[in-house]
A = this chain, B = another copy of it.
Amino acid sequence: MKLSTKGRYGVKAMFDLAQHVGEGPTSLKSIAERQGISEHYLEQLISGLRKAGLVKSIRGAQGGYLLGREPDKIRIGDIIRVLEGPIAPTDCVSEEAPEICSKAEFCVTRTIWEKVRDSIADVLDSITLETMLEDAKKIESERSLYMYYI
């Protein structure tokens, strides 16, 4: 039940882009450096995000990447689904094209995995990049408040 680095790196990279909205294209290299991720590896991940329309690319010198839409229109679930595939604790309850199982109607374990799937999807779809930006702002202000009292 672990997320792979694809999902984790992908969310980090998308959040990085969100933090630079309005500053023109951000190069992969700078994202990779800030987030501590292999640039070549990130390249593969962002390729999928681009095909899914979550980011836009601008080629050539001074090029880079931009968010495909406003931060409040990009849910973490959207990112995870592109990079890790449909949310599915088991194949038989995959969000898309669940593996057909002849015992599905009687299967009691199946209903458990459905609940797990839905609870994960609910969390991931309730958080957007905008939410993350707000959280980051909150943490930052709390932090400076804390520093003030020391």
Bound-complex Cα distance A11 to B109 (A): 7
A54 interfacial contact with B, CB 8 Å? no
Say whether chain A's binding surface is mostly helix, strand, loop, or mixed: helix
Chain A interfacial positions (CB closer than 8 Å to B): 1-3, 7-8, 11-12, 15, 76, 80, 84, 87-91, 105-106, 108-109, 111-113, 115-116, 119-120, 122-124, 127, 132, 135-136, 139-140, 143
Question: Within 8 Å CB of A113, what residues of B?
Answer: 3
Given contacts A116-B120, A119-B120, A135-B111, are A89 and B3 in contact (CB under 8 A)?
A: yes
Contact between B1 and A139 (Cβ–Cβ < 8 Å)?
no
CB distance from A144 to the nearest CB of B (A): 12
